Amino acid sequence: MQAQQPVRRIAIAIALGMSALVFAACAPEEPQAVNPNTSPTTSPAPIAQESPTPSQTKPQAAQKTVEVYWLKSSGNNIEVVPTQVKAAAAVKSQAPLNEAFNSLLAGPTDPAYSSTIPKGTKLRSLKVRDDGVYVDLSQEFTSGGGSTSMTGRVAQVLYTATSENPNAKVWLNVEGKPLDVLGGEGLELDQPLTRQTFQENFKL
């Protein structure tokens, strides 16, 4: 009987130790102390996408109105009358006039107007300089028609070329050469041409 007491004491000690471990595992965790000097960690706020400002949006192409001149019968006379065409305004000053000449050489879309510029006439070059406007047309410009037709086509080119500046001087070339005489009837042109000199020397 005395030999069994140490064994019982050991068993009781083991049982008490296991109970302590189970109690420690099941005990609720104590809240951690909060340091008042530290700020609580928060998730960063989502970054809002900024709407583009007016300066960041793609600007619309600016437009400029230019005039194209056609011929219109008025009784026994023929008048040179303008129609307006919208063209994109560009850095180069001749860009709107290029649009005007493209419309001029394509011919009128309104049956009330006519053109004596021969079909197939092409614009070889157009230059706007400080001293005036330089127009170079293809050889087709000189083909066909009598004196009235020749006078009318010169008027159309002259007035269209000076639509932005009615007082400008115009140098008219064909295939790179100055056009001094037009047509078989010999319509003489003193260059540079102006609206004033045309009205003084020619009649439609």
Range 57-63 average pLDDT: 56
CA distances from 143 to 22, 34, 61, 163 (A): 116, 100, 38, 25
Can you give the pLDDT at residue 22? 42
Predicted structure pTM score? 0.67
pLDDT at residue number 136: 98
168-189 per-residue burial string, b: 16 or more CB within 10 A, e: under 16: bbbbbbbeeeebeebbeeebeb
Element (DSSP H or E) covering residue 157: helix 147-161
Pairing of strands 187-188, 177-178: unpaired
Measured CA to CA, the distance from residue 191 to residue 177 in angstroms comes to 12
* pLDDT reported for residue 18: 52
Q: What DSSP assignment string belongs to 74-138?
A: ETTEEEEEEEEEEEE--SSTTHHHHHHHHHHHH--SSTT-B--SPTT--EEEEEEETTEEEEEE-
Mean per-residue pLDDT of the chain? 78
Burial of 162 (0-12, 13-18, 19+ CB in 10 A): buried
- How far is the C-alpha of 93 from the C-alpha of 83, rounded, in Å? 20
The arithmetic mean of pLDDT across residues 63-91, rounded, is 82
Q: Of the ranges 53-57, 141-145, 155-159, 184-188, which one carries the lowest mean pLDDT score?
A: 53-57
Displacement of CA 159 from its chain's centroid (Å): 27
Q: Where are the domains of the chain?
A: 63-201
Q: Is 33 a residue whose pLDDT tops 70?
A: no
* pLDDT score at 200: 93
Report residue 96 as tokens: 């709107």
61 pLDDT band, cuts 50/70/90, is: low
In this predicted model, what pLDDT tens digit does every residue of 94-117 receive, in sequence order? Answer: 678 999 999 999 999 999 999 999
> What tens digit of pLDDT does each residue of 152-193 get?
999 999 999 999 999 999 999 999 999 999 876 678 999 999
Distance of alpha carbon 41 from alpha carbon 38, whole angstroms? 9
